[in-house]
């Protein structure tokens, strides 16, 4: 099967390209570095030529209100180009609970992405993932001041990016869902607890203070980001992943995506 991965050089995309190639598929990684610009459409027709499936794991360069314009432009253009190229399956990576956090501009932008896909001309699948393990160091940096990290006690069920990739590969090589699959990690952890676990594993002397008004996750209410009972559970536990990666530099992800 020929599959084009849009955003094929990022945290998720590069792993997905390797996984699909190892399974014997013909994979085209498409990104700015390969000459494909979703905002202008440059190089898109060539990247999609002959592809049966397109997997979109790109991300907006900003998380503010401008992300709405990014997804409106890029998803609309990708759907048009895909229809012209004869693509039979459009797959997108999104975020668990994304439609339950209307106060976050970026989450509203991801909802727009999903809506465009549902209303588009091509059978589709949406894979919603929880927050990546690789993203947790960035979360701590947002609210760190003078040796103190302030975090809300927001419940999360974080997931290893490699487990997200396995789910994406399975979905991309199967029949379109024409619906949504949630994928999560195995454990529910409060964000402030994740902060303490992470700092301890890194031998980081900063301390975590629970502050339900701190950071982007302060606007999240309840457990909307942990996924429902029908979600696919990744097998990798956060503490195990921290121990396995402790010797190296942690990868930097984006908020739940790409």
Look at residue 236 and tell me if it is in a domain: yes
Nearest to 62 by CA among 216, 218, 224, 226: 216
Instruction: Report residue 164 as tokens.
Output: 């997200």
Look at residue 253 and tell me if it is in a domain: no
Can you give the residue range of the structural domain that contains 196?
2-245
Look at residue 170 and tell me if it is in a domain: yes
Judge contact between 13 and 5, C-beta under 8 A. yes
Look at residue 258 and tell me if it is in a domain: no
Mean pLDDT value across residues 31-56: 96
- The confidence band for 22, taking pLDDT boundaries of 50, 70 and 90, is very high
Query: In whole angstroms, what is the distance from residue 155 CA to residue 157 CA?
Result: 7
Q: Nearest 5°: phi and psi at 11? A: -55, -50
CATH number, domain of 59, equals 3.40.50.720
pLDDT higher than threshold 50 for residue 29: yes
Q: Which helix (H) or strand (E) holds 233?
A: strand 232-233
Look at residue 101 and tell me if it is in a domain: yes
The pLDDT mean for the chain works out to 93
Give the pLDDT of residue 197.
Answer: 96
Beta strands of 20-147 (E only): which ranges?
Answer: 26-30, 53-56, 89-95, 124-129, 144-145
Give the pLDDT of residue 257.
Answer: 39
Look at residue 42 and tell me if it is in a domain: yes
Instruction: Report residue 79 as tokens.
Output: 């759907």
Look at residue 125 and tell me if it is in a domain: yes
Beta strands of the chain (E only): which ranges?
Answer: 2-6, 26-30, 53-56, 89-95, 124-129, 144-145, 148-151, 155-156, 180-184, 189-190, 207-210, 232-233
Mean pLDDT value across residues 228-246: 93
Query: pTM for the complete prediction?
Result: 0.93
pLDDT higher than threshold 60 for residue 27: yes
Q: What is the pLDDT of residues 209-225, one digit of tens each?
A: 999 999 989 989 899 99
Instruction: Report residue 216 as tokens.
Output: 């982007």
* Number of domains forming the structure of the chain: 1
Query: In whole angstroms, what is the distance from residue 173 CA to residue 210 CA?
Result: 43
Mean pLDDT value across residues 21-37: 96
- The confidence band for 67, taking pLDDT boundaries of 50, 70 and 90, is very high
Q: What is the pLDDT of residues 174-232, one digit of tens each?
A: 999 999 999 999 999 999 999 999 999 989 999 999 999 999 899 898 999 999 999 99
Look at residue 255 and tell me if it is in a domain: no
Rg (CA), the chain: 18
Instruction: Report residue 257 as tokens.
Output: 């995506």
């Amino acid at each position: 099967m020929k599959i084009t991965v849009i955003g094929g050089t990022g945290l998720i995309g590069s792993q997905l390209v390797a996984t699909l190639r190892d399974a014997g598929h013909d994979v085209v990684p498409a990104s700015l570095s390969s000459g494909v610009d979703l905002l202008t459409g440059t190089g898109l027709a060539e990247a999609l030529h002959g592809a049966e499936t397109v997997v979109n794991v790109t991300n907006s360069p900003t998380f503010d209100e401008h992300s709405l314009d990014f997804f409106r432009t890029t998803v609309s253009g990708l759907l048009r180009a895909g229809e012209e190229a004869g693509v039979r399956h459009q797959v997108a990576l999104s975020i668990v609970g994304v439609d339950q956090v209307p106060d976050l501009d970026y989450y509203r932008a991801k909802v727009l992405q999903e809506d465009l896909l549902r209303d588009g001309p091509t059978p589709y699948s949406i894979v919603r993932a929880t927050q990546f393990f690789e993203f947790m160091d960035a979360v701590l940096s947002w609210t760190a001041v003078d040796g103190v990290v302030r975090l809300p006690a927001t419940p999360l069920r974080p997931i290893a990016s490699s487990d997200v990739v396995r789910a994406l590969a399975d979905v991309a090589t199967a029949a379109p869902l024409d619906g949504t699959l949630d994928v999560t990690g195995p454990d529910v952890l409060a964000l402030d607890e994740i902060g303490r676990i992470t700092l301890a594993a890194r031998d980081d002397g900063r301390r975590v203070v629970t502050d339900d008004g701190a950071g982007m996750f302060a606007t999240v209410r309840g457990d909307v980001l942990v996924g429902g009972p029908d979600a696919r559970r990744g097998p990798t536990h956060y503490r195990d992943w921290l121990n396995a990666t402790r010797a190296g530099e942690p990868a930097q992800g984006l908020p739940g995506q790409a």
